[in-house]
A = this chain, B = another copy of it.
Amino acid sequence: MSDFSQRWTTRLHQGFPLLKAMQVQLLGDQSGWQLAAPYGPNQNDHHSAFGGSISTLATIAGWLWVSELAGPGVNVVIQTGSTHFLSPLETDLIAQVCPPEASQTARFLHALQRKGRARMALEITVGDAMGQIAARFNAQYVAG
């Protein structure tokens, strides 16, 4: 486990009791990462992954991405989040942030520096370890 993974996994578990219950874990390192959660604690009563777990994993993946971009000491909150459930997921859950355009990232950092506040729209997918996508999550975060 990388230092990056260890640091974030610990922070998520200590700061968010629900993410500890979900057994959320960051896989990878700063150059490329995913958020994973095992199937067991995240199943519903119909033998597939619970929609609440899918949305929650995506919510925190986006929050973590914007928090990393904004840097330490900046508070990030979610403003809106929409999940489209595409197909049932019967395995461990993997959330992956779709990298935005470089120009969007630059605008965000510029606004944050100039106004002390900036918005970031992100798409996050949730699926299995083979890359099969079960849900798409579109969200807007505010940093400041």
Contacts and interface: CB of A to CB of B under 8 A. Distances in A.
B81 A50 contact: no
Contact of A81 (B17, B41, B75, B82): B82
Contact of A17 (B16, B40, B80, B82): B40
A11 interface: yes
Chain copies in complex: 2
Contacts of A52: 16, 18-19, 52, 55-57, 59-60
Given A17-B43, A18-B52, 4 more contacts: A11-B45, A17-B42, A46-B75, A81-B85
What 7 pairs between A and B have smallest CB-CB spacing?
A: A15-B45, A52-B56, A21-B21, A82-B82, A17-B41, A51-B78, A55-B55
